[in-house]
Amino acid sequence: MVKLLDLQKITAMHRDEYDMAIRSVLDAGWFLQGHANQQFESDYAQYVGTNHCVAVANGLDALKLIIRGYKELGVFHDGDEIIVPANTYIATILAITDNNLVPVLVEPTWEYLEIDIDKVEEAITPKTRGIMIVHLYGRIAYNDLLGEICQKHGLKLMEDCAQSHGCQWKGRKTGALGDAAAHSFYPGKNLGAVGDAGAVTTDDKELAAVIRALANYGSQKKYVFRYVGMNSRMSEIDAAVLDVKLKYLDEDNRRRQQLAAYYYKSIDNPLITLPQQLNDENNVYHQFPIFCERRDELQAFLTEHSIQTLIHYPIPPHKQECYKEWNDRSYPITEKIHQQELSIPMNQVITEEEAQEVVKWLNAFL
Ligand SMILES: Cc1ncc(COP(=O)(O)O)c(C=O)c1O
């Protein structure tokens, strides 16, 4: 079986270092808000290129805390609108509605799969306060025009970097392109923890301080509560493991890029469409999405030939039961992506033989 993701094999690559990192946390007997968190926050902020990093419990919390932080600072208010791509993972949208703000869904482009920046300005109303871009599949969702639009309209630019660790725009990393960014370290991400974990990166000192307090029950001083906060902290074990993994992130991403280059060169089947190829710095290939009108048949065929695949994602947010009020809306490009997308094996441990096997069966599909 060629696995989509093989966490046992990935963990085995640097197992001794993880064991040592975990052992040092156990030896220290300090499991939250300790040295490992401080070290990871400092190293990750430096890697991304921001002044601040706040480690939190998961990516959804990171997204929620950014919006909540802006509310506490009086920048966002209930009912304000946030522009967001229609084809994202549900977490991006949940973070907006959970804070009583209104997501304004904007279509992606079919070629690039990311928010259609030409349609962003049309979606701006007097209630718009921010834009949340999502670097979906590890592909850059930013360009300079988007930065200009935010500046012109006084909007906060937020990034969902759950899938884009290490991805860059003109030498600047995602996570440092806007005002604040949310990162997920869910185990399957390019930078993945050994459980749930996340972070916010920003240059905004005030926002970072509010988020840090909100994530710690709303407290800046022990047992004194300034905000109605939550408990969203990263375990020391996750922080220690992530700090080891961070050293290998660029190398891992390069392996993903090499595999992607092979796929682009070798996948040759008129029934299969590949997304527009980007420069390496603009794509860290969290997933390798391919598109096929007979996607479900293709998936069954690949399964039969021991190639594991996954659909990202079968149902778009506006068709989900939790957002019934949007179910009648139509976002044709988003819907086409969700009908045709199939993610094929992509990670840093796939062997040449496995990659050849994937291509062989993709090209054999009739
Ligand atoms: C685009 C996107 N945003 C947000 C999240 C939420 O992250 P987490 O699972 O760490 O809460 C994920 C991943 O799961 C994601 O893929």
Return the best residue to mutate from 5, 56, 60, 233 for the ligand 1 pocket (most ligand atoms within 8 A of CB). Answer: 60
* Confidence (pLDDT) at 351: 97
Cα angle 272, 277, 280 (rounded to 5 degrees) comes to 140
Please, are residues 276 and 124 in contact by the beta-carbon 8 Å criterion?
Answer: no
192 lines ligand 1 (CB under 6 A): no
92 lines ligand 1 (CB under 6 A): yes
For residue range 267-300, list pLDDT tens digits in order: 999 999 999 999 999 999 999 999 999 999 999 9
**H helix intervals, the chain:** 7-12, 15-28, 35-48, 59-72, 90-98, 117-120, 144-153, 205-214, 236-266, 295-304, 332-340, 352-364
Return the best residue to mutate from 66, 115, 186 for the ligand 1 pocket (most ligand atoms within 8 A of CB). Answer: 186
191 lines ligand 1 (CB under 6 A): no
Taken in order 247, 249, 254, 256, is the CA torsion positive or negative?
A: positive
162 lines ligand 1 (CB under 6 A): yes
The bridge status of strand 81-85 relative to strand 52-56 is unpaired
Distance 89 CA to ligand 1 centre (A): 7
Which residues, in sequence order, are bridge partners of residue 104? 83
Taken in order 39, 45, 49, 50, is the CA torsion positive or negative?
A: negative
Please report which confidence band the pLDDT of residue 202 belongs to, taking 50, 70 and 90 as the band edges. Answer: very high
300: number of Cβ within 10 Å: 11
pTM beyond cutoff 0.95: yes
* Confidence (pLDDT) at 330: 97
85 lines ligand 1 (CB under 6 A): no
For residue range 312-362, list pLDDT tens digits in order: 999 999 999 999 999 999 999 999 999 999 999 999 999 999 999 999 999
Which atom of ligand 1 lies closest to the CA of 198? Answer: 10
Q: Which residue has the tokens 């800046």?
A: 220
263 lines ligand 1 (CB under 6 A): no
